[in-house]
Structure 1
Amino acid sequence: MALSRVMRFGLRMTSFPLLLSCVLLVSQVCSVSRDNFKRCDQSGFCKRHRAVDPGHSPYISLFDTLDIQPSQISVELLNTKNNVRLRLELFGLQHQTTRIKINEVNPLKPRYEIPVGDVLNAEPQQDTLTVVEKNDDHITLSLEKSIIVLNREPFRIDFINDDEPTVSINAQGLLKFEHLRKKKEDSQEKKEENEEEKASCAEEEVQEEDEPDMWEETFKSFHDSKPNGPTSVGLDVSFPGFEHVYGIPEHAESMALKSTKSSDPYRLFNLDVFEYELYNPMALYGAVPVMLAHNEKRTVGIFWHNAAETWVDIASNVADKTFFSKMADLVKGSTELPQTDTHWFSESGIIDLFIMLGPEPSDVFSQYGQLTGTTPIPPLFGIAYHQCRWNYNDEDDIRNVDAKFDEYDLPMDLLWLDIEHTDGKRYFTWDGSKFSHPDEMVKNLTVKGRKLVTIVDPHLKKDDSYSVYSEAKSQNHLVKNKDGSEYEGWCWPGSSGWPDFLNPEVRKWWASKFAYSSYAGSSKDLHVWNDMNEPSVFNGPEVTFQKDVLHYGGWENRDVHNLYGFYVHKATMDGLLERTGGEERPFLLTRAFFAGSQKFGAVWTGDNMASWDHLKISNPMILSLNLVGITFSGADVGGFFHNPDAELVTRWYQAGAFQPFFRAHAHLDTKRREPHLLPNANMLAIRDALQQRYSYLPYWYTLFYWGERNGGPVMMPLWVEFPKDKSTFSMDDQFMIGKALLVKPITEQGSTGTNVYFPGNDLWYDVESFQTYNGGDTTYVRAGLTKIPVFQRGGTIIPRKMRNRRSSTLMKSDPFTLFICLNREGEATGNLFIDDYHSYNYKNGKYILKGFNFRKNVLESVTGHKDYQTDEWIEKIVISGFQVQPSIAILKGSVSGQKELEVNYDIVEDNIIIRKPGVNIAENFKLILQP
C-alpha cells in the first residue's frame, strides 16, 4: 500500500516503519496498542515517587530561617536524609486563595517556572497574613476566614475553616524534591576529592545512591538522555472530611475520580491517543492539573501549576485524629473524618500549588477564574451547530451539503474542512484543483449566515518551496534537537518541522500568518481549528516529541510539554484577533490544552469512536472540563471512528444539542452520515434536536456571559447547584445547563425511557409536555426516539427564540418567547444578555442585561444595564404552574404605554399563553394578570 494511502487514515504509530507495516482494510482502522504509551512502572520518576514510604517524612521546617512579611512567609525545609535545603514560600492571596512554592535554596541552575501572564493572567494579588501564634512546634496564621498551621517536625501545613480541617499538605509525608546535582564521576580520585570537600562542611549534601532511570531512560526504541539527571518534584495533598474529588482532565473516566490503589495514577501528559480506551487513567490530549473536593459543607480546590508530565494518585483514608487533637483550640469535634489523599508528582519544574478555599462551588470557580481567566463569550454562531467531516471533497461537495441542510430545514452555522483541503498538507494553502475559489465558496455560505472553518496544524512540511516552512527555518523559529540541529519528525505531510511556540517571537510570527494578506482565501467569515498540537509526531516516543528536544530559553520539552498546545492555541487566537484589529470575535477549536486554555476558544474530546460507550462517556468528560474552567467543550457527535447506526447517531445528536460545543465529525473512511442521509424518522428526530438547540441559543449565550463574568461552568454536575444533596455527588449521566435546565440524555441502545432524579424541593417541568415532577423523586420518564428528557426548573424564566431559521445569524432580530415555570410559591426569575452577538463591543459596555421576575401575578421586566439598541421583541409569554386561569393581562410599558392582552389557556399542557405583547425586549414593563 502506498504511503500516501496509509497516512490518510489518521494513524498515530510510535515509529514510521510500524506505520508502513500496518495493514488496513477499507472498512477497518489500525488501532494503536495501549503498550505504545507509558505505564507508571515504565517511568523512572513515577516509580520513585510511588515508592516513597508514607508517614516518614524526612523534611523539617527550620524556624530559625523564618521570614514573615505582611502577605507571605518563607522558611527553609531541611531534608534530614541528605541535608538538602529547600525554600518554602507561602503567600496569602485575595479571594480566599493561598499559594505555596517550594524550590531549591541554591540550585545548580534555574528550574522552569511558567511565565506570568500566560497561564496565570497576572501576578496574583496578595492579601494579609496575620500571625496568630508562634511557638517551637508550629506557627498559626490567619487569612480572611481561614486558619493556616505550619508544623515544624515533620513539615506539614493544614488549612482549617469553620473549625474543621479542609486541606492538608504533606500529611502523608510524601514530599520528594529531586535536587539538581552533578553526575557521579567514575574515577576514584574524583570520589576522594568529593569526600575531602564534604569533610570540610558540617552540613554538606549527603550523596545518595543513584537509582535506575535517573540519568538516562529508554522506552521501547527511544532513548532519553536526561542531561540534567533526576529533577522530579512531588507532594501529597489530603482533603479531610471529603470523599469525592473531581477534575484533572483529560481522561475518559467517570466525573468522580476513583482510587488508584490498584491501577496506575491518573496521568497528565498531552498525547495523541486515538480510539482511546474508556475508564482508565491514561493520558489523553489535554492536561488541566486542577482538582476540586466537595462535601455537604463546602467545596475546595487546588491548582498544581506545573507544565511537565504529571501523575496523580488518589486514595480513600480517614483523617489523623491524633494529629488534629493537638489543635483542640482550632479543630472541633472528635468524630472520625473520611479523607481523600492525593499524591502529585511531576518530572521537572518546581512545586507551585494554589489552594482555593471556597467555600461554595461558585467561590472556587471564581477563585480559579481570577488566576487563569475565564471563557470569553463565544460569537453566537460558535455555540450553534457545526457540520464537519474528514474531508469534504471539494467546492461542489461543500455546496451540496449546504444545500441539503436547506432542503431538509436543518439549521447549521459552520461547515468545516479537514487536512485534505490544503495543497499537500501545507497549512494556510488550498488544493487548487479542488478548492480553486475559496473566496467565492465562503461568500456562498455567508449569504445564508453560515461560515467556514479550516484546519491549521502546527507541523510544517519540510519543503523549502513552502513559504511558511522556509520562513520558519530561515528565522530560526523551529524546535531543536538536543545538539542544536533542527528537529525533524513525521506527521501528515511526511517529514516535518515544528515552530517553537514557547518563543514569544515565534508566536507573533505565527499570528501574522492569519492576516488576510498572508492567508489567501481567508476572511472574517473563515475560522480555524488547531489539531495535532499535543504535538503529535508519528515516529516519536508515545507519538510526540522526545523529552530532550530543546525549546526557547534552552528548556527541554520535559519541562514544558503540556504547554505546547496551549501556546499554539494562544498564537492562533492572537492572529485571528489581529486580522480584524480586535473587533470581531473569532471561533477557534483546539485538541491539546492546559490550564488557562479557556481564554482562547473551544476544546473537544478528540478522536472518539461511534459506540454507545463513547456517547455515554462524553457527558462526564465534558462535565470534568467544565469544572476546571474549560467550559466551551464538546465531543464529536456520532463518533469519529467507525460507522454508527441510525439510532446511535440520533441519540448522539440529542445529547450534543445540550452540550456547550456542538459539532458532528467523522473519519475519512466512514460512511457519510449527514442528517438528511438517515432514515426519515431519524432525520426528523435530529431536526427537532437541532431546532431545540437553536431555540435555546439566547439561554446558552446568557450562560456564557455569566461564565465569563464569574468563572462558573455552563454545563455542570447536579452537586454544583444542589451542593448538600449527597445522592448527586457521583452522578454524571444527567446534568444541569445553568440553573434552569436538567438534562438526562439517552445513552443506552434500544432505550425508550430512563430513570430521572429530580433534585431539590422544586417542581420540574418537561420542556415539551409541561408535565410536572417533584423534586426529591426518581421517576421513570418515557423517551422514544424523538424525545430528549429535558426539564425546566420551577421558579425560572427562560427566553427562547422559536422561529426556525437556517442559521443563528439570521435569528438576530427574531422575537423572544418567555417560558415561565413557576415554583410552589407561584414565583419565577430569569435574565437575558443581548449584544450584537459577534463583536467585542460588549467589553465596552455595549450590551443589554435584562432581569425578569414573576411574583404575585405580576411579571416585571427590569433592565440591569442598557447601552445597546435592538429590534428584538417579545412575541409570546407562556406561563406554567399558574393555579387560576386569568381572564385578562394588562401590559404597562415604559415606552409602549398600557394595553390589554388576551389570555389563552392551553388545557392540554395546562399553560397560560399570552400572544404578541409586542414590547421591545429592552423595554421595562409590567404584565399584570387579573382573574
Structure 2
Amino acid sequence: MATFTERMGPVLLFWLGLCLSGTWAVDKGNFKTCDQSAFCKRQRAITPGESPYRALLETMELTNTKLTLQLINDNNKVRLLLELYRLQGNITRVKINELKPLKPRYEVPDVLIREPPTEPLSLLSQDENGVVLSLGAESQRVIVSARPFRLDIVEGRDVLMSLNSRGLLGFEHLRMRKDTFSYKVTSTVASVWDNIKRVFSSSQADPEADNKEATDPPSQVETTKEEEEKVEDGMWEETFKSHTDSKPNGPSAVSLDFSLPGVEHVYGIPEHADTLKLKTTDGDPYRLYNLDVFQYELYNPMALYGSVPVMLAHNAQRTTGIFWLNAAETWVDISSNTAGKTVFGKMLDYVQGSSETPQTDVRWISESGIIDVFLMLGPTPREVFSQYASLTGTQAFPPLASLGYHQCRWNYNDQEDVRAVDAGFDEHDIPYDFIWLDIEHTDGKRYFTWDPHKFASPKEMLQGLMDKKRKMVAIVDPHIKVDTNYKIHNEIRSRGFYIKNKDGADYEGWCWPGSAGYPDFTRPDMRAWWAGQFAYDQYEGSMENLYTWNDMNEPSVFNGPEVTMHKDALHGSWEHRDMHNLYGFYVQMATAQGLIERSGGVERPFVLTRAVFAGSQRLGAVWTGDNAAEWDHLKISIPMCLSLGLVGISFCGADVGGFFKSPSSELLVRWYQTGAYQPFFRAHAHLDTPRREPWLFGPENTALIREAVRQRYTFLPYWYQLFYHAYQTGEPVMRPLWVEYPQDPATFALDDEFLLGRDLLVHPVTEEGARGVTAYLPGKDEVWFDIHTFQKHNGVQNLYIPVTMSSIPVFQRGGSIIPRKLRVRRSSACMEDDPYTLYVALDNRRTAEGELYIDDGHTFNFEKREFIHRKFSFTNNVLSSVNLEPDAQFTTKSWVERIIILGASKPSKITLRTADDQENQLEFDFDASMSVLTIRKPGMNAGADWTMTLQ
C-alpha cells in the first residue's frame, strides 16, 4: 500500500514543505499588491476632479420603471449607457455598461433571488445642467448633473450618497488590439466603415456631433493615432512571478467612486482578517479575490477565501449600504477627511466651530464586467438588512444539530479512530453532534470514495453514530483527480464538464490529488450532475446522517497564479476572470442541492464552505479558514464573523484552537469559551499538530471545556430561534452592538464583544493571562444581568469584570425572556423532548418578552407551517404564553419545568391558568439578596397557551 508521502506527489510535497517550514506565516510575495495588478494600478492612477464623463441629457428616456441616459467620455468619445431604477424597499439601482460593446460584457447571474421589483420614478425638474427625479419616498430625490457627470441621492436637505463626485468613474471599453496592427490598417478599417456608412445611412445629416453613434463605427475602431500609441504594460498581457495572463479582450476594468457625507464608520466587504470598522487605505486597497492564503496575516487588507462586495455605512442618524454586483477581482479604496485626526483634534474642531462635515469616500475597482450597484438607503440597520435580503436572500435555516458542537481534525485515521473519539466524548460527558473527516478518508483523494483499508465499512461507522443520534461530515472538494480508473473523472470528462484552458483543452492544475481537473460549476447541467452524485445509490457508503464540507473552492490551484486558477481559463465563452469570485458559491450551491435531492426534497442540508460570495448565505455555513493557534487569531475571529453577519452570512465560525500550530491549554480553553458563543462551533487542527481532543489537557482543563460546550447546548433553543429569525428577516445572528444601539457612538467601533440577537451580550476573554476584562454595557435605560451570578448592572457603563479560567462574561438584557434546556445530553437530538427553563430578565419597567420556536429540527416541513412559534411576555406581574402563528400545526412533548425571574419582587402566591381554565397554585423560592424568583414545576406543555399571575 502506498504511503501518505508517496500518494501526495512531488509537487504537493514541495508545497507542503514550503508551508510547514520557517515562520508559519503567509508569503506575501505570492499575492499581488495593487501596483502589481495592472488594472488596479491604472485605475488608481486616475486623477480626482478631472472626470471626462458627461451626461448627454438629450438622450434621456424616462419610463415608469427606469431612467436611461447616455454618458460620453470626452477624451475618446466612447459612450456608456446608464440605467437607473427605483426598487421596492428604498433601494436605488444604477447600471452602467458600454452603449455598443465590441462583445457582451459579463453580468453576474444567479446571485439575485429574482429580478428586483421596481417602483415609479418621476421627473421633478430638468435644465441644461441636469435633471431631478423623485424617488418616491418622502422628500427623497436623485440629482443627475451633466458636466461632469455626477449622481446625488438627497433626502430633504441632506445628501445621502454621491456617485462620481470625485470624478473617478473609469470604464475601459472593449477594443481590438491596436499595437499589433499598423495605423494604416486601422485607418483602412475606418475607411471601409465610412464606405459602408455612406451606403446604409440616411441621406439626412445629423447636425449634432455628439449624436453620431448611430452611423459611426463601433467605439473600439474609433481611436486616434495618439491614443493608439498609449498601449501600456498589462493591458493585453500581464506576468506575475512565473505566470503570464493572456488578455484576449484587453483592458476591461470598471471603477466608480462613492461619497458618504456625515459618515466616519464603514463596515463589511468580507473576507479580511481585520477590524470590524474598515480602515482608510493609504497603502493597498482592500482586495476582494477568493484565494487560498496559507496562515493569513492579521490586520491588513489582503484578500482571503471569500469576497462579499457589500459595504455598510453608519452614523447616529442613518445606516446605508452599497452592493457592488461584480464577481471579478475587485479592489476597494477608502478615504476619510477625518482619518488621522485624534480625539483631541476632533474636539478642537468642535470647540472652534469647524464646519467640516465628516465624510468617507469609497472607490470600487473591478477588472471586468459592468457597473451594477445597489444603493440600500436604510435608514435603519434593520432596513438595510431587509433590503439586502430582498436582493440576495436570507440565511438558510440550518438543521438544529448543526448548531451543536463539531469535532474535526485533519485527519481521523480510520474507523477505529472515529469510534474511539466518539467514545471519548461519552466517557468525559461532553456533548457533540458531528464528527468530521478530512481528505485522508478518501481513496487517494478521490472524492465520493472511501479509503478501502481505513474506512472499509463506512455504513457500519455511520450507523454506529446514528445509534447515538450523532452525525458525520465528510469533505468533498471541487478538484477532481485526473485518473482514468476514477468514475467521477471519467464522467466529467466525457460530458465536457471541465473548465477549459485558453486553448480549449481541459484545464488541469495541481491540488491534493496531484493533477486535477476543475468542474465548471457555473454550468447548470454540471451542477445538476454533481447534485446527483450525492444520491445514496451513487455515493457509496453514504447515509442520511452524512453531510458535506466544500474546501479549496476559491478555487485553489497549488501551481496556479496566486495559488488559484488562471484568469484566461474558459467557462464556455466567458473567461474565469469575469466570474472568479462566484466559483465557490456555485460549488456550495450544487452540493446543497445534492443533499436536498437525495432525501426527495425533505431534509435540510448542511454544507460548510470556505469560499463565499454575495448570496452564499442561502446555501449553508462558512468558516474563517486556516487560522493559527495564537491569541490574535482568537481575537480576530470576532470581527471576522461580525463582518460576515453584516452582509447576510450569519452561520460563521473559526477553527477552535487554531488550525496551525499548537495552542497552550489556556488558549484552547479560552477558544472553546469564545466558540461556544459564536454561530458555527467547530474544533479543527492541522495534520502535523499534536492531538487535541477536549480531554487531552488534564482533568481541570477538560472540566472547563466541558462546561463551555454544555453552556452551548443549554442555549440551543435560543440559537435556533435566532436562526429562524435570520431566515425570515436577514438580520444577523451575531451582531455588533451598534446594530441595536445605532445612536450610541461608543458602540460604533467595538469588536471585542458582540450581541447574539438582541438579548445576549458576550465579551469573551481573549487576552493571555487575563485577570479581568472591561465590557461596555449599552443602553441608557437598559439593565443587564450576568447569566452566571444574576447580578444586575445598569447600561451605558464600562464594567470591569474580574475573571478566572472558568469565566465567560455573558449578560442577558433586562426586558428579555430566553428559553433554555438545562438537561444536557450526548447530542442535540437526545434533548428533543426535554423540558425548558425560562429565564425572565425584567427591565426597569418590570416588563419582559421573548420567543420560542420549535419544529422537527431537520426537515423543510416548517415551510408547510409545521412548527410552534410562541411569544412570552411579562407585564403587570402576569407572565403569559401566546401563539404567534395560530394557523401553524405542530406538537411537542417538551414542557416548561422551571421559570427564573431576574430582578423580581417576592410574591405572596403564584397562580397558573391554562387554556382549559384550570387554575393551580405553584411553588416558588425567592432569593432576596439577588432579587431572583424561581418558580418550580409549572409543568405546562411548551406549545400551550397559559398565563401565570404573581400576587
Shorter-chain-normalised TM-score: which range?
Answer: over 0.9
Q: Deviations over 1:549-596 (max 9, x none)?
A: 0013x1111001001111000000110100001101121100001000
Structure 1 distance, partners of 2:3, 2:454, is: 21
Query: Within 2, Cα distance between the matches of 1:905 and 1:273?
Result: 56
Please give the alpha-carbon distance, in whole angstroms, between the structure 2 residues aligned to 1:796 and 1:302. Answer: 33
Mapped to 2, the partners of 1:855 and 1:713 lie a distance apart of 28
Amino acid at match of 1:126: T
Paired AA for residue 128 in structure 1: P
Counterpart-to-counterpart distance in 2, 1:682 and 1:6: 38
The code of the aligned residue for 2:5 comes to R
Q: Deviations over 1:248-295 (max 9, x none)?
A: 00000001000002x100000000002000000010000000000000
Q: Quick check: 1:926 aligned with 2:947?
A: yes
Which of 450, 462, 465 is residue 482 of structure 2 equivalent to? Answer: 462
Equivalent pair of 2:7/2:444 in contact (CA under 8 Å): no
Do residues 222 (structure 1) and 243 (structure 2) align? Answer: yes
Partner of 2:765: 746
Matched, 1:140 2:132: yes
The match for 1:786 among 803, 806, 809 is: 806
For the 8 Å contact 1:274–1:606, the answer to whether it is kept is no
Please give the secondary structure, in 2, of the residue aligned with 1:569. helix
> Which amino acid in structure 1 is aligned with residue 931 of structure 2?
D
Pairwise mapping of residues 47-446 of structure 1 onto structure 2 (< 5 A)?
47-115=41-109, 118-145=110-137, 146-184=140-178, 185-193=180-188, 196=191, 205-207=222-224, 208=227, 209-261=230-282, 263-317=283-337, 335-446=355-466
Give the aligned partner of residue 634 of structure 1: 653
State yes or no: 1:703 paired with 2:722: yes
1:895-917: CA deviations, max 9, x gaps?
37110001211345431000111
In the alignment, the residues of structure 2 paired with residue 689 and residue 16 of structure 1 have an alpha-carbon distance, to the nearest angstrom, of 38
Distance 2:190 2:518 in 1: 46
- The aligned amino acid for 1:140 is V
Q: Kindly indicate whether the alpha-carbon contact (under 8 Å) linking 2:25 and 2:296 is maintained by their aligned counterparts in 1.
A: no
Q: Is the 8 A contact 2:840 2:901 kept in 1?
A: yes
2:635 to 594, 611, 616: 616
2:12–2:512 contact (8 Å) kept in structure 1: no
- Give the Cα–Cα distance (whole angstroms) in 2 for the partners of residues 93 and 22 of structure 1: 51
Report the alpha carbon displacement of residue 195 of structure 1 after superposing the two structures with TM.
Answer: 6.8
Question: Does structure 2 retain, via aligned residues, the 8 Å contact 1:892–1:926?
Answer: yes
Deviations 1:610-668 (A, max 9, x none): 00000000000000000000111110000000000100000000110110100000000
- Letter paired with 1:735: F
Kept after mapping to 2: 8 A contact 1:289/1:595:
yes
Q: CA deviation at 1:5?
A: 3.0
For 1:213 and 1:55, locate their aligned partners in 2 and report how far apart those are by CA, in whole Å.
25
- 1:600-611 pair list within 5 angstroms: 600-611=619-630
TM-score normalised by L of structure 1: 0.95
Q: Partners of 2:16 and 2:181 in 1: how far apart?
A: 43
Matched position secondary structure for 2:118? coil
In 2 relative to 1, CA 756–699 (structure 1 residues): closer, same or farther, beyond 3 Å? Answer: same
- Tell me what 1:868 maps to: 890
Q: What stretches of structure 2 of length at least 5 have no aligned partner?
A: 198-208, 217-221, 340-352
- Counterpart in 1 of 2:345? none
d(CA) in 2 for partners of 1:566 and 1:928?
52
Q: Which of residues 690, 703, 707 is equivalent to 1:684?
A: 703
Describe the SS at the equivalent of 1:701.
Answer: helix
Q: Which stretch of structure 1 is more off in the superposition, 333-342 or 581-590? A: 333-342
Structure 2: distance between partners of 1:277 and 1:606: 12
Evaluate the alpha carbon distance shift between residue 681 and residue 895 of structure 1 in structure 2; reply closer, same or farther with a 3 A threshold. farther
CA offsets, 1:185-231, max 9 Å, x none? 43353144257579999666344221221010000010011011001
C-alpha distance 16-838 of structure 1, shift in aligned 2 (>3 A) = closer
Kindly provide the CA deviation profile for residues 308-348 of structure 1, in whole angstroms up to 9, marking residues without a partner as x.
000000000389xxxxxxxxxxxxx9953211000001000
Aligned AA (1:709): Q
Greater than 4 Å deviation, 4+ residue runs: 6-9, 15-18, 28-32, 194-204
**Could you give the per-residue CA deviations for residues 475-517 of structure 1, whole angstroms, max 9, x where no partner exists?**
1110111110111110001011011111111111111100000
Q: Answer yes or no: is 1:805 the counterpart of 2:825.
A: yes
SS at match of 2:570: coil
The answer (yes or no) to whether the contact 1:895–1:923 under 8 Å persists in 2 is: no
Q: Distance in 2 between matches of 1:390 and 1:793?
A: 40
Tell me which amino acid in the other structure corresponds to 2:432.
Answer: M
Farther-moved stretch of structure 1 (901-910 vs 236-245):
901-910
Conserved in 2, the CA contact under 8 Å of 1:81 and 1:206?
A: no
- Superposed displacement of residue 830, structure 1: 0.6
Residue matched to 1:564? 583
In the alignment, does 2:666 pair up with 1:670?
no
Q: How does 1:714-729 map to 2 (within 5 A)?
A: 714-729=733-748
1:19 match: 15
Q: Which residue of 753, 767, 770 maps to 1:734? A: 753
SS in 1 for 2:119: coil
> C-alpha distance in 2, partners of 1:871/1:17?
55
CA drift at 1:31: 4.6
Q: What one-letter code is carried by the residue in structure 1 that aligns with 2:714?
A: S
CA contact (8 A) 2:270 2:308 kept: yes
Aligned letter for 1:296? Answer: A
Tell me: CA distance 1:219–1:577, structure 2 relative to 1, closer, same or farther (3 Å). same
Unaligned ranges ≥5, structure 1: 320-332
Q: Which residue does the alignment assign to 1:595?
A: 614
Decide whether aligned partners of structure 1 residues 474 and 131 sit closer, same or farther in structure 2, where only a CA change above 3 A counts: same
Mapping of residues 544-555 of structure 1, within 5 Å: 544-552=564-572, 554-555=573-574
Supply the distance in 1 between the matched residues of 2:132 and 2:890 (Cα, whole angstroms).
52
Give 1:21 deviation, angstroms: 7.0
**Match of 1:747, SS?**
coil
Q: Which amino acid aligns with 1:870?
A: T
Residue 323 of structure 1 aligns with which residue?
A: none
CA distance in 2, matches of 1:626, 1:91: 27
How much has 1:756 moved relative to structure 2? Answer: 0.7
**Residue identity matched to 1:218:** T
Give the corresponding residue for 1:526. Answer: 546
Code of the aligned partner of 2:123: V
Amino acid at match of 2:325: H
Question: Per the alignment, do residues 891 and 737 of structure 1 end up closer, same or farther by CA in structure 2, a change over 3 Å counting?
Answer: same
Q: Residues 732 and 24 from structure 1, CA distance in 2 versus in 1: closer, same or farther, beyond 3 angstroms?
A: closer
SS of residue matched to 1:495 = strand
Instruction: Quickly say closer, same or farther: Cα 1:334–1:206, change in 2 above 3 A.
Output: farther
Cα RMSD of the aligned pairs, angstroms, is 1.9
Partner of 2:922, secondary structure, is strand
Letter in 1 for 2:792: T
Amino acid at match of 1:857: N
Q: CA deviation at 1:887?
A: 2.3
Equivalent position of 2:203 in the other structure: none
SS of aligned partner of 2:174: coil
Give the match's secondary structure for 2:387: helix
Using structure 2 for the length normalisation, give the TM-score: 0.93
Superimposed CA distance per residue, residues 144-200 of structure 1 (whole angstroms, 9 cap, x where no aligned partner)? 322111111111111112431111111111000000000114335314425757999
Q: Distance in 2 between matches of 1:3 and 1:79?
A: 63
